[in-house]
Structure 1
Amino acid sequence: MNEDAARVPASRSYAELLEDYVQGGWYDNHYRAERGWPLLRTRRYVLEQDLSTEEERRKLPHYNELYLRWGYPGFIAIPFVLDGRAWCLPMLRGRKNGFFTHEEGARLARFAPHFRRMMFLSEQFSQRHGHGGLEALDRIDRAAVLIDWQGRVKGFNAKAQALLARVGNALFLNGGGHLHATHPESESRLQALYATLRTRNFRDRRRKEVAPIRIDRSDHRPLLVEAVSLDGLISPASAPAHSILLITDLDERETPATEHLRTVLKLTPAEADLCVLMCSGMTLAEAGDHLQITSGTARQRLKGIFQKTETNRQSELISLLSRLPPARRN
């Protein structure tokens, strides 16, 4: 057991416990893992009583400071194999019901084939939903990549396949099925994005926007990679960190037309002109000079744009503008 515990499928009610488990480093020297996995190779189930004595439980930090603190004295693990990998389904029991008995363990062990089937179907279900999302994004000309809870790529839409074939020297797929960036700083940003998506704190992930990251290229404008969590589309119990990565090639993305911005975002002509210049890559100061307005006027104009677009920073505004559908051509 290690930090991957925060990313495996789990009941929603265990979310805070698992977050505590990872943040507190409880996966280090965990007696259940060290004693339990060897037993699971030959047994149909393992109980807490098989892993520790009553005397030990009075002193074990993991048991007292983690599980008892969260109110879960009882434990059972049911092993099964899926795609050649060993899994186990751990269950916790609250103080009201206490420990699992061996009789209950024998009954629960009969369901191991069903647990394996549930895990398999859950994975298939989440991937089908994700691929449906990829197809929809193809129709609005967005390059999209589906990743699973381990950060492995599970599919591309046609737009993403074409883009990656074109920019393979900047963003590439390794032999393990993970997306990587060639540029060292871009690779650090990409891995930090994966780490954010793998977090078990669903509430924070929904409340806080995950900012797009930049993938630098030596001879072209950068790529922007934005992550969209599939929480809400796929049950967190079955796919806690499935996400879609949206990739924008800034060499390809058209600068929005002034009239289009006025219509879609209800901007004034002056505000739309400023947005167009900033989308083209100018800083606020450069755009102000181009429009022959003072820095104070440019800042005031930008403040009005922020209010109308419900953004707070220039990076958020540019991200929003990059996601606008293109203007229809007659």
Structure 2
Amino acid sequence: MARSGTCFAPPTKQDYGFEDIPGLKAVVFGDIDTPLSTLSSMSEAELQQSPFYRNWAGPQGLREGCVTKFVHTSDRIGLVSFTTRASRGAITAEEQRFIALLSPHLRRASLIGDLLDQARVTASLYRATLDNLACAVVLTSEDGAILYANGRAEAMLSTQQPIFSRNGILQAQNPITARALLTAISGAAHADAALGARGIGLPLSAAGQPPAVAYVLPLAEGTARAAFRPACAAVFISTTISAAPPSEAVLTTLFDLTPAEVRVLLAVGGGLTTQKSALSLGVGENTIKTHLGRIFAKTNTTRQAELVKLVSDIGAPLSPGAVPLDIA
């Protein structure tokens, strides 16, 4: 059989309606993985009298087609068609069985494509969030390999101050800190209790250079970590001290928190009591306590004082004029 990737060649799509293509309607409204040949629904004489055959199929030396539906969801229908030349016989039952066996593989390929598209969209949203940060952020694997660097971090890497890349591995200009940085990153990968979710601050700059500090934090298991796999650590590089709290998007990215959990973390991490947090957010104290339990688990903390330290340590304001992104 001569193959056609779709039963809609451009001239057909322009010149014929849905019901004018022989056999198409029956396939669209029929079952998936059920091939239907044109001559199984009409005689050859009827086919040859159709405008579709006289004006399109016949002049191209074609005889009949066989179409099967391999995807049917709320937003699309996937069809594949095979067309025979006029010089050969009608499509056989064995050939239709072969197409039926092929159909599930086409559906699997389509679903895999969907998953890859979703992963690309998710990763793109997270990249946009990190690029909006005013501080440098580098995501690394367990051995310190640089997997992603936002705009500020790329600028530092290009000037090799206060960080640089050696064979793709993140390095600090301060020789005393260089080994400690990689040790902290490795600790983040294994959820080292000594490192904790509040991270660890390490001086990056060498003598005579402007001060710079790296905060190494574990990248929580969840959507963000999956988007940058095999990233396991987030290295925030600060060259200024800021009292501004981190944005909701930053906390969502780091710890895979829900929007409600982020709001509670910012309130409690900002020093408010459970009662005042409840009043501030317009919810009950029991709701705050429920969210806190989940926040403690996701951030590997146990006390409010640790949450206050966490929010203070990762304070990273958005770049001026940047529009915060809701990526929850």
Fold similarity call, TM over 0.5 = no
TM-score tier (shorter): 0.3 to 0.5
Structure label with greater radius of gyration: 2
Task: Give the TM-score of the pair, scaled to structure 2.
Answer: 0.36
TM-score, with length taken from structure 1 = 0.36
